[in-house]
Structure 1
Amino acid sequence: MLDTAKTRGRAPSRAKGGLFFLLGPAFVAAIAYVDPGNVAANLTSGASYGYLLVWVLVAANLMAMLVQYQSAKLGVVTGKSLPELLGERFSTPARRLYWVQAEIVAMATDLAEVVGGAIALNLLFHVPLPVGGLIVGVASMALLTVQNRRGQRHFESLIIVLLVIITVGFLAGLVLSPPSPAGILSGLVPRFEGSDSILLAAGMLGATVMPHAIYLHSQLSRDRHTDARSTPQSLARIIKATRWDVVVALLLAGAVNIGMLLLAASTLGGVAGTDSIEGAHAAIVNSLGPVIGVVFAVGLLASGLASTSVGAYAGASIMNGLLKVRFPLLARRMVSLIPALILLGAGVDPTWALIASQIVLSFGIPFALIPLLRLTASKSLMGVHRDGVALRLAALVSVALIVALNAVLLWLTFSGRA
């Protein structure tokens, strides 16, 4: 279970060390931004529309930097996670309803991550998808055991290693198939091409700005930097380190996401059957060779293992903060694995399940962002570290854009035009 006391005791902020020793929580949160749902959405975008939606990923990554920094700062300054602060402010019925939507988001996240890992095992070893999903679930339990027994710092180190593997796996193909500079520049101009591209953009946004990572990051930073509030100088230094932590981690995650779209645009455009991860992988192997295909599949596997572990961690944090219920982390991992295994066993198209899960996530974003914006702008809660005018304005614009895109997505979906 999420033992805060133990985590705090084992993960000191090392206030007297260099800034390097203060990095880490954002890298755990960043795993959510390179999960298998991103792979499906980004490959589909590049294969179907070329460089058209590069701007969506750039904008989404900037939004992600903004909100993850706000979440981390909230945890460091207040000593409480976002779910805990919301749990204190909501009435009991509202708290339960809010938890339901957050839990749906967490379940959609876990579905994408387990399915993605199962696809990777199938590509590498021809393991049946249901068996692969079970293997991914068991392996993620082993990763979570590290967090339970060795503390947050060791868990962060493992996640960072997996993030490096993910980066190499998803970007290696660009060495052999570099993207078009002119295409990249054209993709930075905001535009759509029909309702299907809007639907896909919403899925990409849902895959890039992750609600469960917003909830979790406040706890990760709070637990890591337990002595942050010992003096005003210490708190200011930790906030500065947190800013660098977020920028470096999210730049890396953003590069991976954009790199996947560019690889698909340069390699998969016009190739039949690339509307699934399996088809895209086959096209990559055909175009760039089996070695790149294996490296890509290994990156996908690392993505599934790391992100499903972080997703289970986030789900437990949400439940504990909102409902004050401490559900054992490994038991939660077992329960949340069931929906993914049912879908895999039923033969549902895995790539469709991945993209659908990202659309569900996009609807959960405002429920995380709007309260975060209000809390970090509160002078009574944040004191001198409340968001400045520029930051509040940027956050407000981000929330407005996300809500507007989701409204358009709803209209397209229910009008039958998507």
Structure 2
Amino acid sequence: MSDLTHRTRSGIAAVLRGDARGLRSRLLFAGPAIIASVAYMDPGNYATNIQAGAGYGYKLLWVVLLANLIAMLFQALSARLGIVTGKNLAEVSRDNLPRPLVWVMWAISEVAAMATDLAEFLGGAIALSLLFDLPLVVGMAITAVVTYGILIFENRGFRPMELIIGAFVGVIGLCYLAEMLIAPVDWAALGVGLMTPALPDSMALTIAVGIIGATVMPHAIYLHSGLTQSRAEVRDDGDRRKLLRYSNIEVVLALAVAGMINVAMVVMAASAFHQGNPEVAEIETAYYMLTPLLGAAAAGFFLTSLIASGISSSVVGTMAGQMIMQGFLHIRIPIWLRRLITMLPAFAVVAAGVNATQALVLSQVVLSIALPVPMLALLYFSARRDIMGAFAISPLLRVLATLGSCAVLGLNFVLLADVFGASIPFLE
């Protein structure tokens, strides 16, 4: 299977030289954004999107759209950093920032990686336990074995892993296409929800921050730069420009698909639960209620997509965690040990009797609080000409990225104010 990677490198080189053209050649550039897009449809998204749709119907769809647009921008910047510098974000941070700040960034990023894996690992385990009527711990054990088996393919080059993750993304997408055909959709309300910002109350704010945390993922920002840093041999700035063009196209397409899947999650929950069961907030409850409300097929597609999401995102989360540790500390540990370390919080949560879905939602809030660290670092380095040269971002991109960062920081600030009991005038 390593031949797949060799053929992909050779094909990319031929396209960059101008010796190959056509759609098949262009598909060789697809991969990094597809892997990163898994982070935007992981089980944390299921938990927050179910709560958003059941509790508020279509009213929080604008948050999904905003989060997706911010994600597109920052994933494109992450890919740009890797292509131009040949280093990932953690490595660039280590090489250009004061050592104490690097240690703080690493600690926050490790917490974010563990919160990420908590959501992904629990999501896959919940789906397996529901589908096969297994204890949750058994579902967790199966998820652990399957994800480790997939991670072994990483040793055979990047292309096999890209194809495997791409297949999982395809399964998730097809499942939610089917869900949209089954669920009765209020298209007018969907359009209003996408275009009209509103936060009805403080609970809606918590869910909105969770959506941001579940959609714009810290580990995906680190990972994307690493996936592009050495994927193709670059001879000069002309090659870099071509790679950036293909990368930007892939980011837009891959994250547009992820965004539509997130919208479909909210729409399904709104269609099934909002009118008669707005209190539905757990994945297990949603599954059991889907059969009488929308039929057994809807419930089956829901669980199938959740299994694909949990397994694929857990694989991607472990890859990102390995990259974060290696980039910041120059330490690489065996993949089985990394997998074991990131699983421990999930087992601890289950052993403590914490509600699994509530743990998923809270993990997304933790991610949203940690998100400004890689966002601000990426914005800072992308604008530095001594690092990016001629590929430093334009003033317009800098403004857009700054606005995106401010949106996330603003939501986080309002959430913290609400948690500490401060009055927030615009919340009803």
TM-score calculated relative to the size of structure 1:
0.95
Counterpart residue identity of residue 273, structure 2: L
Aligned to 2:9, which of 2, 9, 12?
12
Deviations 1:50-93 (A, max 9, x none): 00001000011000000000000100000000000001123333
1:57 aligned to 2:67? no
Aligned to 2:245, which of 213, 217, 240?
240
Aligned to 1:282, which of 279, 288, 305?
288
C-alpha distance in 2 between matches for 1:110 and 1:274: 24
1:120 aligned to 2:118? no
Distance 1:205 1:7, change over 3 A: farther
Aligned equivalent of 1:301: 307
Distance 1:378 1:209, change over 3 A: same
Q: Would you say the 8 A contact 1:312–1:333 is kept in 2?
A: yes
Q: Would you say the 8 A contact 2:129–2:138 is kept in 1?
A: no
Aligned equivalent of 2:334: 328
1:165 aligned to 2:163? no
Aligned to 2:101, which of 94, 98, 101?
94
Bigger drift between 341-350 and 76-85 goes to 341-350
Aligned to 1:131, which of 119, 124, 138?
138
C-alpha distance in 2 between matches for 1:338 and 1:127: 20
Bigger drift between 397-406 and 177-186 goes to 177-186
Aligned-partner SS, 1:348? coil
Distance 1:7 1:160, change over 3 A: closer
Aligned equivalent of 2:380: 374
Deviations 1:266-322 (A, max 9, x none): 111134352111111122211221122112101100000000010010001000000
1:387 aligned to 2:393? yes
Aligned to 1:351, which of 357, 373, 379?
357
5 Å-filtered alignment, 1:141-180, equals 141-148=148-155, 150-180=156-186
In structure 2, runs of 5+ residues without a counterpart are: 16-24
Tell me the CA shift for residue 7 of structure 1: 12
Counterpart residue identity of residue 54, structure 1: L
Tell me the CA shift for residue 170 of structure 1: 3.0
Aligned equivalent of 1:250: 255
C-alpha distance in 2 between matches for 1:220 and 1:10: 17
Aligned equivalent of 2:22: none
Aligned to 1:315, which of 287, 310, 321?
321
Aligned equivalent of 1:209: 216
C-alpha distance in 2 between matches for 1:217 and 1:296: 28
Deviations 1:185-243 (A, max 9, x none): 22120111011111110000000000000001000011312x12x12221111111101
1:110 aligned to 2:117? yes
C-alpha distance in 2 between matches for 1:126 and 1:170: 23
Tell me the CA shift for residue 154 of structure 1: 0.5
Give the paired residue count.
Answer: 410
Aligned-partner SS, 2:112? helix
Counterpart residue identity of residue 303, structure 1: S
Distance 1:10 1:210, change over 3 A: farther
1:186 aligned to 2:192? yes
C-alpha distance in 1 between matches for 2:231 and 2:276: 47
In structure 1, runs of 5+ residues without a counterpart are: 1-5
1:22 aligned to 2:22? no
Deviations 1:150-197 (A, max 9, x none): 211100000000001111223322102231111112212011101111
C-alpha distance in 2 between matches for 1:182 and 1:166: 25
Tell me the CA shift for residue 10 of structure 1: 8.1
C-alpha distance in 2 between matches for 1:391 and 1:12: 30
Q: Would you say the 8 A contact 1:108–1:357 is kept in 2?
A: yes
Counterpart residue identity of residue 213, structure 1: A
Distance 1:218 1:111, change over 3 A: same
Distance 1:171 1:413, change over 3 A: farther
Q: Would you say the 8 A contact 1:195–1:417 is kept in 2?
A: no
C-alpha distance in 1 between matches for 2:35 and 2:423: 38
C-alpha distance in 2 between matches for 1:10 and 1:71: 25
Counterpart residue identity of residue 131, structure 2: L
Distance 1:165 1:278, change over 3 A: same
RMSD over aligned CA atoms reads 1.8
C-alpha distance in 2 between matches for 1:288 and 1:362: 32
Counterpart residue identity of residue 158, structure 2: Q
Distance 1:417 1:339, change over 3 A: farther
Distance 1:322 1:264, change over 3 A: same
Aligned equivalent of 1:3: none
Q: Percent identity?
A: 39
Aligned-partner SS, 2:228? helix
Tell me the CA shift for residue 11 of structure 1: 5.9
Q: Would you say the 8 A contact 1:44–1:275 is kept in 2?
A: yes
1:267 aligned to 2:272? yes
Q: Would you say the 8 A contact 1:11–1:224 is kept in 2?
A: no
Q: Would you say the 8 A contact 1:376–1:386 is kept in 2?
A: yes
Tell me the CA shift for residue 32 of structure 1: 0.4
Counterpart residue identity of residue 251, structure 1: A
